[in-house]
Amino acid sequence: MDTGNDKGANLKAACRYIDEAAAAGVKLVTFPEVMNLDGENVGEGGGAEPVPGYTTDLLSAKAKEHGIYIHSGSFSEVIPGEERFFNTSVIIDPEGEIIARYSKLHTFDVTLPDGSVQRESARIRPGGGITTVDTPLGTLGMSICYDIRFGEMYRLMALRGAQVIFTPANFTMPTGKDHWETILRTRAIENGVYIVAADQIGKKSEFTAYGNSMVVDPWGTVIARAPDRPGILYAEIDLDWLDSVRSKIPSLKNRRTDIYDVIEK
């Protein structure tokens, strides 16, 4: 998507994509980070919102209408009594029910060599936990954008049984061209999982987004890549292939937990 500052228009576009994808026979639809709004809203639906709320109600209705799963990408979730918000994703089942919810764990806080400071945590409150969910389609894991740089998080999801991990993003052009594909393929290979990474494209309120939405299989092969325009990218997830890859490269089983481990608190 090339999400802009009109939430109503963005969500109408999202619903059209859902209808088109459902007509093609998909079982699950996913979206990029900030799928409903980039910048200050000039349309309907307000800014940050509760869950359930304006965006999830629309997506839930579409999931139930078509009998499919929908991964929301991410959107700003209001936090009562706080100016900050959560950057939140949900997974909705074919009955229109929210079955999983995740808020971005990692915020980009940095002091650059020139002394300038960026504090994403001043706007976004980090989430409090890792999320996986078992479904008839497989065990799904949830992450958002900057999370991809923290391999331990992906390893924990894989150890919880994740077979497919969603990585909706709004990646910048400078880092995207050098890091996006490399990191996504690495996460897929080292954990033997599918990575499904829907990314924003276009000029945003603060930067140009990289695009290159892609699906990476457990061997590290990019099996689908989006062109540089809004639209739908299709891919098939083959869990038998995932099992085959894990049997050939059993890195999850060969970990030396007598010497090291990844511990979740």
Q: Which residues are catalytic?
A: 33, 104, 145
Three-state SS sequence of 153-173: HHHHHHHCCCCEEECCECCEH
Tokens 């999202």 sit at which residue?
14
Q: Which is it for strands 138-142 and 117-119: parallel, antiparallel or unpaired? A: unpaired
CA distances from 145 to 126, 150, 192, 249, 254 (A): 13, 11, 20, 27, 29
Q: Give the separation between CA 3 and CA 12, rounded to whole angstroms.
A: 11
Q: For residue 18, count CB atoms less than 10 angstroms from its CB and return exposed for 0-12, middle for 13-18, buried for 19 or more.
A: buried
HSE-up of residue 236 (Cα within 13 Å, Cβ side): 5
* Helix axis angle, 7-23 to 54-66, nearest 10°: 10
